[in-house]
A and B are shown apart, each in its own frame.
Chain A
Amino acid sequence: MRLKSVLSAFAFGLILGAGLILSGMADPDRVKAFLDVAGAWNPSLALVMCGAIAVAAPAFYLAKRRGSTMQGCGISPAGSAVVDGKLLLGAAIFGLGWGLSGLCPGPGLVLLGYGARGALVFAAAMVIGTRLAGFFAPPEGT
């Protein structure tokens, strides 16, 4: 059971990474072109979110109704539903970093697999940033 869930987590990480590469989300140029509404706007990445949500939404609905996974264990509960200052400030800071680099966490890790030096610097800084946030504002559980 445990080995199976480790293998499936690896497989889903691999599929998600392939999706990020294929979709263009791992290309900082494409991401910036998507974010650059005032310039030569390339809206293609909007389809990434549409495709992903269209496939994921039924799974979330199903999981909510079943209440357990295919292996019979519980599903990790949804986090808090409150919109607070931490959420707004955190999202704003994340957007700043995403806009500066064209990289969000998934693509940062995927590009690390290419052995790119820039991705190594980005990923290492990301882990440090995560630790700093935990230091200043410990998360209230996931």
Chain B
Amino acid sequence: MSIVIEPAVLEEALAGGVLIGLAAAGLLLVNGRIAGISGILAGATGPQPKIWQWAFVLGLVAAGAAAAPLGRALPPALGQEPLPLLAVAGLLVGFGTRLGNGCTSGHGVCGIARLNPRSLVATCVFMLTAGLTVFVTRHLLGHG
């Protein structure tokens, strides 16, 4: 193994993390809601959608729509992934986050920020299986 450190990337990672934290704090203090993206998406596409849920989802989509004109190009990696793989991954992500009641934002950020042991366990588990998946696909199967 080797470790790659890019100072410019580290700054952006921290600054981006602060923005994510601000959004989670804002949604909590202003709207009284927890910024769990999988849960909000499930609500918005479920039988009793709320307008705020759609507004939040549209905000996320709008960030992507505004990024390209502002000079932040689409990450090239996305275009290299085969569509069937993205479909399978999407199914697993949707199914898993619903079953486990949260994703990177809900468990990984909000849950840990409020010291919820359940979220800490969930975060450790999904980081572990994600790491193992990358290990198997990259180093054992030799893919992307």
Contacts and interface: CB of A to CB of B under 8 A. Distances in A.
Interface string A38-74: 1111111101111111111111111110001111011
A73 B28 CA distance: 11
Contact of B133 (A38, A53, A99): A99
Interface residues of A, number: 123
Contacts, number: 510
B136 to A, nearest CB: 8
Contacts of B144: 32
Interface of B is mostly: helix
A17 B92 contact: no
A96 B133 CA distance: 6
A64 B114 contact: yes
Contacts of B104: 25, 98, 104-106
Given A37-B1, A100-B85, A21 B64 contact: yes
29 contacts: A9-B53, A12-B31, A13-B55, A14-B59, A16-B19, A16-B105, A19-B16, A26-B75, A29-B75, A38-B139, A44-B5, A44-B10, A48-B13, A53-B112, A55-B22, A56-B113, A69-B30, A76-B34, A91-B122, A91-B129, A95-B126, A97-B88, A105-B38, A105-B97, A113-B62, A114-B65, A122-B87, A129-B90, A130-B46
- List the 5 shortest-distance A-B pairs measured between CB atoms, nearest first: A13-B59, A90-B100, A23-B16, A113-B64, A129-B94
Given A38-B139, A42-B9, A126-B41, 13 more contacts: A13-B57, A20-B60, A22-B16, A39-B139, A41-B3, A54-B17, A55-B21, A78-B116, A82-B118, A109-B60, A113-B64, A118-B78, A129-B92
